[in-house]
Amino acid sequence: MTVRTRIAPSPTGDPHVGTAYVALFNLAFAKKHGGEFILRIEDTDQTRSTRESEQAIFDSLRWLGLDWAEGPDVGGPHGPYRQSERGDIYAEHCQMLLDRGHAFKCYRTPEELDELRNSLKEQGINRALKHCDLELPADEVARREAASMPYVVRMHVPVDGRVEITDLLRGPVDLDWALVDAQILLKSDGMPTYHLANVVDDHLMQITHVLRGEEWINSAPKHKLLYQYFGWEMPVLCHLPLLRNPDKSKLSKRKNPTSILYYQRMGFLPEALVNYLARMGWSMPDEREKFTLQEMLEHFDISRVSLGGPIFDMEKLRWLNGLWMREDLSLEQLATRLHDWALNKDNLLRVLPHAQQRMEVLSDFAPLAAFLASGMLPINAASFAQCNMDEDKLKQVLQFALWRLEALRTWQRDEIFNALKTLSGDMGIKLRDFLAPLFIAISGTTSSFSVMDAIDLLGPDMSRARLRHALNEVAGEIGKKQLKKLEKAYAALGGEQA
Ligand code: GLU
């Protein structure tokens, strides 16, 4: 048997460091066993999936050197590797489950589902909805069918009892069927849910080992049951510990930048980031901190993964990156890295249209453009004094602008401008006054290129990181209560967070 592993990201939003972390371990596991690592795009959520996001996943994983043998962009014998192109396969498999009586059509309306859940609660019954709850009399089913009412296909799930799944790192894990709902397999728009598509694809793509984030462990009973219903062998499961913020909470963009593109933009070396991700819950036999991807692949042993939540600590990553910079790059190589990273003609040509009018001598360029090549700027609460805005308003402007920019799917000057203009209007603040604090957060000063040009040039990751940095400088770490208040005020303006 050839070992085959996969990374199966959903292309929504920015490429996440957690995706790179899971990809790295899947790659290492496959290589260790002389097997193959493949990439599949799970884009069944058509409203949130984008091609830009998919491309960013390819680019950032490649930047890190985590290459795949099969995938949507490279092809392979088990394609298509994009779930949105596999609709017929899921429909056919769903029909198989219906024919064998393992699944049923469910015509319940959202209101009825709420009622059913409430009624269980009122009776003090703590369990998920099952077939016995959802079942309708045959004539009612016929009536709804005749009226072409929307339906979903759900799987049969035991009402109670225990289910045991085996995890490569944890051994047997005991879970309760009562908490597992009669999972939807096919949505009313005919699209499969993650569970159906994931199981069917892992089988058809001959995946032997599923290494994925710990957050999926509760899905394992449904998957086990689906494998049984189809009569297929289940791949070995291995749930990796989740990356955590230094305060042990799940890694989130509120506390740490999570986009791989941010780390690229910030000037981390890909080999250092991979090295750091490899240290998340895993260690080399000799415990050394600095090693290459190749060295990891040679020494990889999944049993050395420890389950305690690994902390993603930016300071530690910077330190490691510094080691790589100093110990592994000649001056010649460092010069090449700087050139490729930002100091190249293409980049200059993007900046110069904004700088030329403001320059008298060439040396004017450095102070004008320094903010574009910097990481976080040396600003603090006092930097915003000239904005004439009280602290509460200032926090709102920074936070709301950040939320608005996080929700943008593409990064185009006009779109950014319209989004911020609408927001300032909704907040009842003059555009000029509204943009002033953003200007300082983004450029560190108000005497630079226009803030819109700066945001456009900096790109989404660095712009958002700078806004967050400014917010932290002004507001300190925002507590839960304050966050709730801000969220409420934002929602009142019709804002939706990404
Ligand atoms: N599409 C899922 C994700 O985005 C894949 C989970 C899995 O690996 O099964 O993480």
Q: What is the pLDDT of residues 279-290, one digit of tens each?
A: 998 999 999 999
Query: Looking at residue 449, what is its pLDDT?
Result: 86
pLDDT at 195 over 90: yes
Query: Looking at residue 497, what is its pLDDT?
Result: 73
The dihedral region occupied by 231, where left means phi > 0, alpha psi between -120 and 50, and beta the remainder, is: left
394: closest CA among 312, 337, 478, 316? 478
* Euclidean distance between CA atoms 498 and 493, whole angstroms: 15
Distance 292 CA to ligand 1 centre (A): 26
Query: Looking at residue 355, what is its pLDDT?
Result: 94
Indicate if the alpha-carbon torsion angle 189, 193, 198, 203 is positive or negative.
negative
Rounded mean pLDDT, 341-361: 95
Inter-CA distances, 456 with 363, 406, 461, Å: 24, 14, 11
pLDDT at 482 over 90: no
In the structure, what pLDDT confidence band is assigned to residue 267 with cuts at 50, 70 and 90? very high
- The answer to whether the beta carbons of residues 337 and 271 sit under 8 Å apart is no
Model confidence over 175-191: pLDDT tens digits? 999 999 999 999 999 99
Query: Looking at residue 479, what is its pLDDT?
Result: 80
Rounded mean pLDDT, 292-311: 95
The DSSP symbol for 232 reads -
Of residues 369 and 67, more confidence is placed in 67
Rg of the chain in Å (alpha carbons): 26
Rounded mean pLDDT, 396-409: 93
- Ligand 1 in reach of 197 Cβ (< 6 A): no
Residue 481 annotated to the active site: no
Helical pair 51-63 and 17-32, crossing angle rounded to 10 deg: 50
pLDDT at 447 over 80: no
> Which residue is catalytic, options 130, 222, 253, 395?
253
291: closest CA among 305, 270, 274, 314? 274
With 0-12 / 13-18 / 19 or more C-beta atoms within 10 angstroms meaning exposed / middle / buried, residue 187 is middle
Model confidence over 315-347: pLDDT tens digits? 999 999 999 999 999 999 999 999 999 999 999
- The answer to whether the beta carbons of residues 192 and 186 sit under 8 Å apart is yes
Query: Looking at residue 128, what is its pLDDT?
Result: 95
Query: Looking at residue 256, what is its pLDDT?
Result: 85
Of residues 392 and 8, more confidence is placed in 8
Write out the two tokens for 83: 């779930």
- Ligand 1 in reach of 195 Cβ (< 6 A): no
Distance 238 CA to ligand 1 centre (A): 13
Query: Looking at residue 448, what is its pLDDT?
Result: 81
Distance 148 CA to ligand 1 centre (A): 33
> Which element (helix H / strand E) includes 36?
strand 36-39
pLDDT at 477 over 80: no
Query: Looking at residue 496, what is its pLDDT?
Result: 74
Q: What is the mean pLDDT of the chain?
A: 95
Distance 447 CA to ligand 1 centre (A): 45
The DSSP symbol for 356 reads G
274, HSE (Cβ side, Cα atoms, 13 Å): 23
Pairing of strands 209-213, 184-186: unpaired
- Ligand 1 in reach of 183 Cβ (< 6 A): no
CB proximity list for 122: less than 8 A, separation 6 or greater: none
Query: Looking at residue 147, what is its pLDDT?
Result: 96
Rounded mean pLDDT, 131-136: 96
Query: Looking at residue 445, what is its pLDDT?
Result: 83
pLDDT at 255 over 90: no
Query: Looking at residue 478, what is its pLDDT?
Result: 78
Determine which residue's CA is closest to atom 3 belonging to ligand 1. 9
- Ligand 1 in reach of 232 Cβ (< 6 A): no
Distance 182 CA to ligand 1 centre (A): 20
Query: Looking at residue 265, what is its pLDDT?
Result: 95
- The answer to whether the beta carbons of residues 284 and 300 sit under 8 Å apart is no
Which ligand 1 atom minimizes the distance to the CA of 9? 4
Does 367 sit behind a cis peptide bond, omega within 30 degrees of 0 on the bond before it?
no
Rounded mean pLDDT, 403-432: 93
- Ligand 1 in reach of 208 Cβ (< 6 A): no
* Euclidean distance between CA atoms 268 and 222, whole angstroms: 40
Distance 141 CA to ligand 1 centre (A): 34
- Ligand 1 in reach of 443 Cβ (< 6 A): no
Rounded mean pLDDT, 15-43: 97
Which ligand 1 atom minimizes the distance to the CA of 7? 8
In the structure, what pLDDT confidence band is assigned to residue 266 with cuts at 50, 70 and 90? very high
Query: Looking at residue 104, what is its pLDDT?
Result: 97
Query: Looking at residue 352, what is its pLDDT?
Result: 96
In the structure, what pLDDT confidence band is assigned to residue 494 with cuts at 50, 70 and 90? confident
Which ligand 1 atom minimizes the distance to the CA of 19? 10
Pocket test for ligand 1, best of 39, 61, 83, 212 (most atoms within 8 A of CB): 212
Query: Looking at residue 446, what is its pLDDT?
Result: 77
pLDDT at 118 over 80: yes
41: closest CA among 6, 67, 16? 6
Of residues 196 and 1, more confidence is placed in 196
Query: Looking at residue 54, what is its pLDDT?
Result: 97
